Structure 1
Amino acid sequence: MHEEYREQEQGSPGSDYRLVAGTDGGQTKTVTVLADLRGRCLGAGFSGPANHITEPGGPERCRRAVREALEGAWRDASRGRREGGMLEDFLVAAAYGMSGGNDAMASIIRSEIRASRGVFVYHDSFTAWMAALAGRPGIVVIGGTGSVAYARNHAGEEAATGGWGHLMGDEGSGYWVAFQALSAATRAQDGRGPATLLVEELPAVVGKRDLSELHGWIYSAAGRPQYAGLAAAVGRAAARGDRVALDLLATAGQHLADLAVTVARKLTWEEKPVLISYVGGLFNSGDPLLSSFRARIEQALGNEARVVAPRLHPVGGALLLALRAAGIEPGEQVLDQLEVTLPRVLERRQAQNPAAAGHS
């Protein structure tokens, strides 16, 4: 399930300035971060989604996304450096956590990226688990454009639930929340449902004047990532006390918790409470979702589970795996460096490029 799909060896870097690259490739965006071998993050780059390679134009979209994200991270990391050279001269290892990661995607990535000790591709649920729990046994729930839960116990056994996509499942995901919000807003507009601030917040979040204008955008220009991005309007409406939005976030939290509860029961756990963490833009929607998530898990599992905040951003899991590939076993000092420098680098780059924010 967390299979490392491909690996390549290409010699040794030609400088003491050695770097690793970690990438989180979701359905909305691709994020790459470069770090040194001490875990100090130096630069970040963003690009569009790299998944769905079976769709028309998918392989080229994947190539472009991974290339642009890495190039952006290199430009960011190179600010103020006097030394010359190409990134390939310094890149020791690169790890990719990709939504829908498989052999075909790994082959595409390897055709674009070179690193002296290898390029490694994993499913993003595994790198999210690595980031959230720093490799400790437990469960991670991803609430982004889609939704999935991944579990790994002390014996290295693993299980997953969810991840069925927007047409067959993904309850509690950004896409699902957006769909439910649009339905609630149109019912309110027609007088078929309760009044809600979603009528104004949904168009506003994508720069449209009203639901009619939003309707035209959805049916002509919006893809899955843009559609899922409408979930941000629910958080805004909830922050203003809108009951419909508050209830919707609470329901999403319950759906995401159900993923965790289900996958927890698929494995045997040597130690309890089982740690359950979470990643993905939807968990930034506010307290109503997270409180509902916690309450549902406590109701189902009681003292046998404990919800903990994620240690690192999802791209941090890929960085940890890249460091391991470079021969560095990340200890607390490396984790502390990542905890401090990774948010700083991402926040700086997102401030420069607000469009980079989204439900990964």
Structure 2
Amino acid sequence: MNIFISYTNNGKRSDVQVKIYIGVDGGGTKTEAAAIDIQGKVISRYTGSSTNPYVVTFEGAMQELMNVLDQLLAPLSSSISTYAIQGICLGMSGISTIQEKENVISSIRDYQEERGLSFPISIRTEAEISLMASLEREYGILVISGTGSNTYGITSNGEIYRVGGWGHILGDEGSGYQIGLLSLKTVIKSLEGMLPPTSMTKAITDAYDFSHISELKGYVYKSSIGRNDIAAFARYCVEAAEGGDLLAQSILQDQARELAETTTTLIGKHKELEQTDVVCTGSIFRHSTVFRNGFRDILLNRYPKLSFIQGRHNHSPADGGARLARKLYATRA
């Protein structure tokens, strides 16, 4: 999806060169990109698919990243006579080592050569662009609970700490994947009488057009079913919990506790993290009050000087990346 703002003069395209800054939020499920002007106004936005190399291979990730950039820039030629890309800042899941960053930069350099472009490139953590989006600064604590989960702590001196982010097999405590998986296990245990009835059973049966919940087995063991498909079941847990389902509430409370333990370990890495701003992001935090309140209550009981921020600005992480690019390269000639 693209949005863009036309720079016009009495209905005609402006001939004034517009300086733009690009931010990219690359994830395991989707990749969002935004372009802003020097005033911070979003002039183009595009959402593509995954650019996590551990989900789609490095080659596939780079191919999609180039497609996202092409689609982001395409509308600008019809709305702006001339524009100059001043810089790009990317926060990409699955890209953390020096070698991985160098490989991404090399791919973008190839892209620039093919398109006749030239602009500086910065690869930052997803925490930095998300904190910039919410706080308009790069330090604090970021806790992510979406399809996967992760925690970051960044001090005012720029020291970066991370606990979690090991993926759905080795970690992802408190994530949509784990909640979805536990929801499936719960409805099966309910079917067999090991647990009481749950409203999740009917919700899943209706949503997937099963004649009986036992058909779930044939669905989840298909070779085509992956991490995102399992994580999609978390929505039925969240909805059931909001409706008072005790089993669903228990799943969310347990997973909130798991993520709180991960975050507690993160906070123990540096004293400053005990009294900073905490930004919670991702679909589970966004949609589940049971999960959100449970997580918050545990941490505030342990660290009462923490401040939980909902986000002072209505910016996406991709917007945060673009704003960080502007901060880094606004003085570029």
Pick the TM interval, shorter chain: 0.7 to 0.9
Amino acid at match of 2:328: A
Secondary structure, counterpart of 2:40 in structure 1: coil
Indicate conservation of the 8 Å contact 1:162/1:259, yes or no.
Answer: yes
Counterpart of 1:35 in structure 2 is 36
Q: Deviations over 1:316-338 (max 9, x none)?
A: 32122221233169xxxxxxxxx
d(CA) in 2 for partners of 1:175 and 1:252?
A: 11
- Is the Cα contact below 8 Å between 2:174 and 2:255 reproduced in 1? yes
- TM-score, normalising length: structure 1: 0.76
Q: 1:73 to 1:161 in 2, by over 3 A?
A: same
Cα separation, 1, equivalents of 2:264 and 2:198: 32
- The number of residue pairs the alignment matches comes to 307
Give a deviation string over 1:238-280, Cα, whole Å, max 9, x none: 23222211222222222222222221121132x9732111111
**Deviation beyond 6 Å, 4+ runs, structure 1:** none
1:280 to 260, 279, 282: 282
Name the structure 1 match of 2:60.
61
Residue in 2 that maps onto 1:18:
19
Shift of 1:189: 2.0
CA displacement at 1:125 relative to structure 2? 3.1
> Aligned-pair distance for 1:205?
5.1
Q: Provide the rounded CA distance (Å) in 2 between the counterparts of 1:161 and 1:98.
A: 17
Of 318, 322, 326 in structure 2, the residue corresponding to residue 323 of structure 1 is 326
Q: Is the 1:147–1:170 contact (alpha carbons within 8 Å) kept by the matching residues of 2?
A: yes
Q: Does 1:260 align with 2:263?
A: yes
Structure 2: which amino acid aligns with 1:133?
L
- For residues 134 and 299 of structure 1, do their structure 2 counterparts lie closer, same or farther at Cα, with a shift above 3 Å needed? same
Say which of 151, 164, 176 aligns to 1:174. Answer: 176
- Paired with 1:72 and 1:209, the residues of 2 have a C-alpha distance of 42
Task: Confirm or deny that 1:235 pairs with 2:242.
Answer: no
1:72 equivalent in structure 2: 71
d(CA) in 1 for partners of 2:218, 2:194: 21
Alignment TM-score, normalising by the size of structure 2:
0.82
Contact 1:188 1:195 in 2 (8 A): yes
**1:151 Cα shift?**
0.7
Distance 1:195 1:106, change over 3 A: farther
Cα deviation for residue 46 of structure 1 reads: 1.4
CA contact (8 A) 2:140 2:277 kept: yes
CA distance in 1, matches of 2:212, 2:118: 53
- Residue matched to 2:89: 95
Give the superposition deviation at 1:179.
1.0
RMSD of equivalent CA atoms: 2.8
Percent of residue pairs bearing the same amino acid type: 26
Which of 209, 219, 242 pairs up with 1:217? Answer: 219
Equivalent position to 1:244, from 243, 247, 251: 247
- Which letter does structure 2 place at the counterpart of 1:25? G
| TM-fit CA distance, 1:292 | 0.3
Cα distance in 2 for residues equivalent to 1:180 and 1:287: 18
Which structure shows the bigger proportion of residues in strand conformation? 2
| Separation of aligned partners in 1, 2:283 and 2:260 | 16
Q: 128, 140, 146: which is aligned to 2:130?
A: 128
| Alignment partners' CA distance in 2, 1:71 and 1:202 | 38
